A and B are shown apart, each in its own frame.
Chain A
Amino acid sequence: MPEFWINMGPQHPMTHGLWNMKVKVDGETIVDAKPEIGYLHRGYEKIMEVREFQKNVVLTDRLCYVSSITWSHAYCLAVEKMMGIETPERGQWIRVISLELQRIASHLMWLASYGPDLGLLTGLLWALRERELFLDLIQLMSGARMNQNFPRVGGVRNDLPENFEAMCRRSIEHFLEKYENEYQAIFQESKVFRMRTEGVGKITVEEAINWGITGPNLRACGVDVDLRRLDPYETYGEIDFEPQVWHDGGAGDSYARFVCRFNELRESCQIVLQALKKMPKTGPYRVKPPRRAEGEGYAKTEDSRGEALFYVIGDGDDRPYRVKIRSPVFCTMAATPTLLRGNKLADVVSILGSVDVCVGEMDK
């Protein structure tokens, strides 16, 4: 009997977090796979039912510590939709800036973890080095490096600090220089890297949509879907940007996913620069939300990993009646057996690294 199940996780270098990927191999070829999740389930949806609307932001921050702002922003947006209030314009621009900075930080964290997955520890340290720049910017903006608690229902916590624009420009300039010279060389232009990523973990467009894969992973299949443009929220409608879609052949493999995310780094930098230019220099950044609310609201945003959806129901109390979190990784995880089947055992890391798993948001 040459087939056996290999446990990859929960204590495994490949799993960036606590989850288990059971892989059935025949020799080195993967026959079947079975993800087991739930190790990090903290009962978010239940806890949020007993906390007030505003106080839940601190919880949603911790859904995924790698991209806190995008998650708490999605929650705030859903609650605002439910309450029927709207953020002032400057607040919306600040949110856009913070979201994109967080997206860059999150993607850099993904890049950092993708390196050692493929045996390239240098990539980890280089990417984390540049991530510091963006964490510093976020700290400057919100006061905390991680779990910022920055977006609030009705706006953002505080205005941008002085000189933020200049510092932002300087950091992005520095980052883009490193991006063009160092990251391209070590990742995209490396022959061995392409050998490891090209043609593995393929998925067709129909399968991808059917499995509910979203975000950069879907765009890597050649589908031009970016919620920032398809269903614009905040002021994304006024920004001129190009969603990163893989148009060449061989769509849907690890390399395409890598390129889409990798190019998003640069695109997000451009969005931040544009937003800094276009935003009004002064104005209110927050409105006071009502304490109690009734109704339902949903918001879907383009998280750094895909489509984040919050569905909030209020019953007239000062706390939500029901909150539903749609995590993109949770849906992608359902598709991983399809991605993995037929590949080699060594490709597990190449595939699962490229779909960017964040266990916190997956297990809720």
Chain B
Amino acid sequence: MALESYVPVVIFAVVALLFPLGTFFATRLFRPDHPTPLKDLTYECGEVPEGEAQIQFHFQYYMFALIFVIFDVAAIFLLLWAFAWGGLLTSASPVAKFSIFLFLGIMFVATQYALKKEEVIQI
């Protein structure tokens, strides 16, 4: 069964999770722990930090998340299509065979257009 082959992955995940955790806990035995107010200050190049860093950040960063989601969906579709490609080639229907090129062509043109329109990718 296919699911069975994931058992080692699960075990690996547990070990991989324990590896850094174990390292952090193991270092407790060796390291000192003397927090002072000055030491616990946020690092700001030796100056006293001014203002908060956790601010509402620039919108441009979220644009990437949006574009990424769009491309991700397209990528999943293409991946499934690529898997099925071998079977489709043998099937006689030319529609099934060549519709990918239509899709890819539209995607290519659309991407080019969008990126041309967004002259500089700001951040």
Q: Which residues of A contact B (CB under 8 A)?
A: 1-2, 4-5, 7-12, 20, 26-29
Contact = CB atoms under 8 A, between A and B. Distances in A.
- Most chain A CB within 10 A, of B46, B52, B53, B60, is at B46
B58 interface: yes
A77 to B, nearest CB: 38
A27 B56 contact: no
A1 B53 CA distance: 11
27 contacts: A1-B55, A2-B56, A2-B57, A2-B58, A4-B51, A4-B55, A5-B50, A5-B51, A7-B45, A7-B47, A7-B50, A8-B45, A9-B46, A10-B45, A10-B47, A11-B46, A12-B45, A20-B45, A20-B47, A27-B57, A27-B58, A27-B60, A27-B61, A27-B122, A27-B123, A28-B123, A29-B122
A2 B61 CA distance: 11
* Interface residues on chain B, size class: 10 to 19
> Nearest 5 A-B pairs (CB), nearest first?
A27-B58, A11-B46, A12-B45, A2-B58, A7-B47
A177 to B, nearest CB: 40
Interface in B40-74: 44-47, 49-53, 55-61
A21 to B, nearest CB: 10
Interface of B: 44-47, 49-53, 55-61, 122-123
Contacts of B52: 4
Contacts of A2: 55-59
Contacts of A28: 58, 123
A98 B53 CA distance: 50
A147 B101 CA distance: 71
Given A4-B53, A27-B122, A28-B123, A9 B45 contact: yes
Given A7-B45, A10-B45, A26 B50 contact: no
Given A4-B52, A28-B58, A29-B122, 20 more contacts: A1-B55, A1-B56, A2-B55, A2-B56, A4-B51, A4-B53, A5-B51, A7-B45, A7-B50, A8-B45, A9-B45, A10-B47, A11-B46, A20-B47, A26-B58, A27-B57, A27-B58, A27-B60, A27-B61, A28-B123
A8 B61 CA distance: 23
A29 B121 CA distance: 12
- Most chain A CB within 10 A, of B45, B46, B50, B52, is at B45
Contacts of B60: 27
Contacts of B59: 2
A8 B59 CA distance: 24
A20 B48 CA distance: 12
Contacts of A1: 55-56
Contacts of B58: 2, 26-28
Nearest to B43: A11
- Most chain A CB within 10 A, of B52, B53, B123, is at B123
A29 to B, nearest CB: 8
A55 to B, nearest CB: 34
Nearest to A15: B45
Contacts of A5: 50-51
